[in-house]
């Protein structure tokens, strides 16, 4: 079994299913389905049991989700841009904030009006 994302004419993902390639091939809109990998994130492949990076082959940069865009030129699934100030990382096809997330063990939310991370109340 594999995962497949159905993309519409605008190349937006409208559905993600788990199926055999043979089943997809029988669908009248078989060309609208693009294979995606649950174990791929940021252009890297992760072991499904340990969730640690392994030497598996990543597929299309990221696992597809409804509302993602399939970029044919990059052969990548890209999530919707979360905030206007964030930019697309061309290597990972993930969105980068203009300020890195703090690495101090606390939880933060993004404040677009100040383009900064705000500490969540404890």
Task: Give the confidence band of 3 by pLDDT, cuts at 50, 70, 90.
Answer: very high
- Enter the tokens of residue 113: 């009006």
What is the spatial distance between Cα 69 and Cα 7, in angstroms, rounded to a whole number?
8
In this structure, the answer to whether residues 97 and 71 fall within a common structural domain is: no
The string of pLDDT tens digits covering residues 64-77 is 999 999 999 999 99
Reduce the DSSP state of residue 118 to 3 states and report it.
strand
Q: Please determine, for residue 94, whether its predicted confidence score (pLDDT) is greater than 90.
A: yes
In this structure, the answer to whether residues 11 and 69 fall within a common structural domain is: yes
In this structure, the answer to whether residues 63 and 22 fall within a common structural domain is: yes
Domain range for 13 is 2-80
In this structure, the answer to whether residues 94 and 73 fall within a common structural domain is: no
> Structural domain tally of the chain?
2
Let me know if 74 is exposed, middle or buried by CB neighbors in 10 A (0-12, 13-18, 19+).
middle
Which strands make up the sheet holding 2-7, listed edge to edge?
13-19, 2-7, 33-36
What confidence score (pLDDT) does residue 122 get? 81
In this structure, the answer to whether residues 62 and 110 fall within a common structural domain is: no
The string of pLDDT tens digits covering residues 34-65 is 999 999 999 999 999 999 999 999 999 999 99
In this structure, the answer to whether residues 20 and 64 fall within a common structural domain is: yes
The string of pLDDT tens digits covering residues 101-122 is 999 999 999 999 999 999 999 8
Mean of the per-residue pLDDT values of the chain: 97
């Amino acid at each position: 079994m594999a995962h497949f994302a159905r993309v519409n004419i605008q190349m937006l993902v409208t559905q993600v299913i788990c199926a055999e390639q043979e089943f997809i091939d029988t669908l009248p809109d078989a060309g609208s389905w693009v294979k995606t990998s649950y174990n791929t994130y940021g252009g890297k492949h992760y072991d499904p049991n340990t969730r640690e990076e392994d030497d598996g082959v990543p597929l299309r940069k990221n696992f597809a989700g409804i509302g993602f865009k399939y970029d044919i030129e990059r052969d990548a699934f890209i999530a919707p841009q979360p905030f206007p100030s964030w930019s697309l990382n061309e290597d990972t096809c993930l969105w980068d904030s203009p300020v890195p997330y703090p690495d101090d063990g606390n939880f933060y939310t993004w404040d677009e009006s100040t383009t900064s991370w705000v500490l969540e109340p404890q």
